Amino acid sequence: MVKLKTNHGDILLELDAAKAPLTVENFLQYVRDGFFNDTLFHRVIDGFMVQGGGMNLDMSQKATRAPVKNEADNGLKNDAYTIAMARTSDPHSATAQFFINVGNNDFLNHSAPTPNGWGYCVFGKVTEGQDVVDKIRKVRTGNKAGHQDVPVENVVIESAEIL
């Protein structure tokens, strides 16, 4: 269990180490290192997802460790209120950034071990604080520092801790 303390409230995450062992361990290491403290939910798209864990408060990008293997073929689906790893179009490029689905995003699910079919690895879900996620998904967004869908007023992950 991991608790994210945000400036909108707490989000409790139950992680599935059985289904996504490498991803969960990678995430927990960032939590232990205090990496997520004072980072932003920097990309919010209502109906799709809220993404964070990689930007400082000034929108500069944090340096991460090496990428983690994609475990999206674990059968877990990108359903609403699950948490998954963000990455580039390279299937095995996920590092620190994650997103919480705020819709059933079928098109993100693993369909084949090909560059286009790999999908995005779900590694847990929000067990408490769905109402906090719902507050975050509704914030006003705009363009900032060359990025789109950035909350006009910072949505901050004040701290992340293992319970």
Partner 1 sequence: MKHTLFISDLHLCHTRPAVNTLFERFLSDIAPQAEALYILGDFFEYWAGDDDLIEPLHTSIAQQLSRLAASGTRLYLMHGNRDFLIGEAFQRAAHITLLPDPTLIDLYGQPTLLMHGDTLCSDDVEYQTFRSQVRDPSWQQSFLATPLSARKAQIEALRQRSEQEKSSKTAEIMDTNPDTVAATLRAYHYPRLIHGHTHRPTRHMHTVDGKTCERWVLTDWYNSGGYLRCDAVGCVAHGLEIFNS
Does position 76 interact with partner 1 (CB under 8 A)? The reply is no
Task: Kindly tell me which residue out of 7, 88, 127, 143 binds partner 1, with binding defined by CB under 8 A.
Answer: 88
151 binds partner 1 (CB under 8 A): no
Please choose, from the candidates 133, 131, 163, the residue with its C-alpha nearest in 3D space to the C-alpha of residue 41.
133
Tell whether residue 153 is a contact of partner 1 (CB under 8 A). Answer: no
Under rule CB under 8 A, residue 51 binds partner 1 = yes
Q: Which is nearer to partner 1, 9 or 62 (CB)?
A: 62
Residue linked to tokens 């290491």: 29
Q: CA 133 to CA 11: how far, in whole Å?
A: 7
What distance in Å separates the CA atoms of residue 56 and residue 66, rounded to the nearest whole number? 19
From 27, 41, 99, 123, residue interacting with partner 1 (rule: CB under 8 A): 99
Minimum gap (Å) between residue 91 Cβ and partner 1: 9
Q: Does 95 bind partner 1 (CB under 8 A)?
A: yes
Q: How many residues can be counted in the chain?
A: 163
Greatest Cα pair distance, the chain, in angstroms, is: 39
**DSSP letter, residue 56:** B
**Of the candidate residues 19, 48, 79, 161, the single one contacting partner 1 (CB under 8 A):** 48
Which two tokens mark 22?
Answer: 């490498």
The C-alpha atoms of residue 151 and residue 144 are separated, in whole angstroms, by 9
Q: Is the CB of residue 23 less than 8 Å from the CB of residue 123?
A: yes
Task: Decide: is 87 part of the binding site for partner 1 (CB under 8 A).
Answer: yes
Minimum distance, C-beta of residue 86 to partner 1, in the bound complex (Å) = 4
Positions touching partner 1 (CB under 8 A) are: 43, 47-48, 51, 54, 86-90, 93-95, 97, 99, 103, 105, 107-108, 111, 114-117, 119-120, 147
